[in-house]
Structure 1
Amino acid sequence: MNIANFGVEEWLNQKEDAAIYDLAGSSIASFTLEEIITIDGKTTPEAFFAKLLPKKMNYGWIEGSPEFKQEVSKLYQNMPVENILQTNGATGANLLALYAIIEPDDHVISMYPSYQQLYDIPKSLGADVSFWEMREDKHWELDLSELEALIQPNTKIICLNNANNPTGTILNHDALRKISQLAEQVGAYVLVDEVYQPLDPKFQIPSIVDIYDKGIATNSLSKTYSLPGVRVGWIASNHELADLFRKYRDYTMICAGVLDDALAVHTLKNKEAVLKRNQELVLTNLQILKNWVQQESRVSLVFPKAVSTSFIKLDIPLEIELFCTQLLEDTGVLLVPGNRFDVPKHARLGYCTPTKTLIAGLEQLSSYLKKFDD
């Protein structure tokens, strides 16, 4: 098995510790442990941990506690709790699904650019991967006729990231329904990494499992719920797939852990308060970002629909990774260079950092761009 280096994660692993103004992430500003425990306005850290102190630090609930599964099931229209499996983040869920389903010489279609797992894991397993490409000149929108042309009789799975990382593009109900219809013609699965949820009520994305029986939904607490430090995700599917995933899950993961499960349950039980906090932050920061882009002659952006990732285009006479490296060294501002998504001249700008960090980081970036005007 041979697999490409994971471009984005490799960059962040190497650079993140040097950042003063971290504008590279795609999570919404992370909660502190105290903040998430007290999010309901009633629970104190002392009370929360008092319930946990008598618990044995054994494996706990292997597939996730009954409370966890029940809370996750509420995120879907009709998802039985037995079809939900807890995973190590959405990365663990994506790996599980691809590992369990793909065999050598299968045909896989992946939206592109996207999260690298969704195409390089299939390649490493011997699949033939076709890219369903998004184009900036089409506002990063996907053309369904192009997907239809890519589908083959042996297409095993279509891999999507909705909303998309890095562009922030969303696939609405009508698009997902049409994708499912095309997949159904050849019996293909549709895997959707759903970690990015638009927080503007005008833009609602249904889950693929609410539309298509052979849909697979992966998700986690890392992005929309602002808890990447709680390494809990999940995979939801039909019953047949859930049983298949159970078998392969035994080889990839035993459990998430007693403490992580408890924090995950508490977070999901209080998701309305979490999403209210995050909606305010996202909408505030998105307006700041829009105002900044409008004032920068060297920056353009297809604005995301209140999704926590954006993909700016920079009109500069430097290769983008060199620019991002020098920017970090000279100012402490961290972006993800677009070549890590195979898209030159762009950079992922995570605008859902704390608002003060965003403002200060954009000021530094503006000053740095001015040197190209001389």
Structure 2
Amino acid sequence: MKYARMAIEVESPEEYGYDLIRNNLSESSIRDRTIADFGLTIPNLTLLYGEHRGDKRLRELVAAQGSGLSADDVLVTTGAAGALFIISTTLLRPADHLVVIRPNYATNIETPRAIGCQISLIDLKFEDGFAINLDAVRQAIQANTRLVSVTCPHNPTGTMLTREQLDGLVSLTGDLGIHLLVDETYRDLSYDVQLPISSSLADHVISVSSLSKAYGIPGVRTGWLITKDPELYVKFLAAKEQINICGSIVDEWISGAVLEQRDDFLALLRVEMRKRLSIVRDWVASEPMIDWIEPSGGVVCFPKIVADAAFDTKAFYARLLEKHGTYVGPGHWFEMPTNFFRIGYLWPTQDELHAGLEGISKALRD
């Protein structure tokens, strides 16, 4: 494994220092929650080794979100990142090939690179509304392709697959005997239509999610993968056991207690999501140097700077932070051009969001 640090981690706010940022618009999650926000009191838990598959109550709560799934299809992992690492290191070898829709969560690209795999990257295009091109996926598949990787709702663009596109990917990969990985970390943050859990549609499809983004508890390192293929599940379980045996008893108890409040929590959250999206929408409409594809899921968007080739994006990001105290996720975090950047609009307070958007407009012209 040839590991390399990812730009999105090297330049993350927690690495740079939260105290140096006034308006943090770079985060891709809702604002961080506390134990008290969920009204929880942690009981006097026995700190033993937990169930290797994950707490059964937690797995049942996850499975209940899909059709035809059971707790035995769910493997609890150390965040979605842990699930993605398990999947890549289980399914891929250096001689293998995979297809990744880009931009994508960096781990979906960097772990296969560390393994030494050949990767075909299919870039979503602004002029196409960041919509996936199924023909491009089909053409990228090779004889040694083992995996196709997508995210939905998409990070950083906030766009979503249609049901027709999802079914097309499931059918294409199934016909060719290739695994389909769908990172669904933002599934609970859909605005209108919520797609089914992808792994419920076919045995060769693997779903990944976590509580970090939609529930604001990334410090509780709980994620999961779902597969209806029992043999594949055992391989993933073996990988987990060799990495960390089991998860944290405390984390999994908190996660189950949070998911028990899922419906009420998300109902209130979606009201605020729409308010914040409206704020960003109004700003984009008033800012001639910014264009975007309006998101339909998640709490992020990926606008682009409308300027001539002489515009210095590196200087823009520097003065945005140094002069206006505002931090965004630059395009290079996602291996995209630097005239694109990610805005997370539900992690900052409403006042910070307004101030950050104003700072962007000023930094564009300074």
TM range (shorter): over 0.9
Distance 1:369 1:6 in 2: 27
Decide whether the 8 Å contact of 1:282 with 1:306 is kept in 2. Answer: no
Q: Check 1:205–1:123 CA distance in 2 against 1; reply closer, same or farther (3 A cut).
A: same
Distance 2:74 2:190 in 1: 27
After TM superposition, give the deviation of residue 318 of structure 1 in Å: 4.3
Match of 1:279 in 2: 270
Q: List aligned pairs for 1:339-354, cutoff 5 A.
A: 339-344=332-337, 345-353=339-347, 354=349
1:145 paired to 2:139: no
Match of 1:365 in 2: 360
Match of 1:127 in 2: 117
Report the residue type matching 1:173 in the other structure: R
Any idea what SS the aligned residue of 1:223 has? helix
Distance 2:315 2:225 in 1: 38
Decide whether the 8 Å contact of 1:16 with 1:334 is kept in 2. Answer: no
Decide whether the 8 Å contact of 2:188 with 2:266 is kept in 1. Answer: no
Identical counterparts, % of pairs: 27
Match of 2:24 in 1: 22
Q: Check 1:80–1:334 CA distance in 2 against 1; reply closer, same or farther (3 A cut).
A: same
After TM superposition, give the deviation of residue 273 of structure 1 in Å: 1.5
Q: 1:192 aligns with which of 161, 165, 182?
A: 182
TM-score (norm 2): 0.93
Gaps of 5+ in 2: none
Match of 1:6 in 2: 6
Any idea what SS the aligned residue of 2:214 has? coil
Q: List aligned pairs for 1:130-279, cutoff 5 A.
A: 130-197=120-187, 199-238=189-228, 239-279=230-270
Report the residue type matching 1:229 in the other structure: G
Decide whether the 8 Å contact of 1:114 with 1:161 is kept in 2. Answer: yes
Distance 2:314 2:209 in 1: 30
Decide whether the 8 Å contact of 1:153 with 1:186 is kept in 2. Answer: no
Gaps of 5+ in 1: 39-44
Decide whether the 8 Å contact of 1:218 with 1:234 is kept in 2. Answer: yes
Any idea what SS the aligned residue of 1:224 has? helix
**Can you list the C-alpha shifts for 1:310-346, whole angstroms capped at 9, x where unaligned?**
1111135544344223311212111011122121211
After TM superposition, give the deviation of residue 120 of structure 1 in Å: 2.0
Any idea what SS the aligned residue of 2:323 has? helix
Decide whether the 8 Å contact of 2:154 with 2:297 is kept in 1. Answer: no
**Can you list the C-alpha shifts for 1:337-364, whole angstroms capped at 9, x where unaligned?**
1122121211111011232221222222
Any idea what SS the aligned residue of 1:266 has? helix
Q: Check 1:78–1:322 CA distance in 2 against 1; reply closer, same or farther (3 A cut).
A: farther
Distance 1:319 1:341 in 2: 19
Distance 2:37 2:73 in 1: 31
**Can you list the C-alpha shifts for 1:264-288, whole angstroms capped at 9, x where unaligned?**
0011111011211220121110000
Moved over 6 A (4+): none
TM-score (norm 1): 0.91
Q: Provide the aligned C-alpha RMSD in A.
A: 1.7
Distance 1:188 1:266 in 2: 36
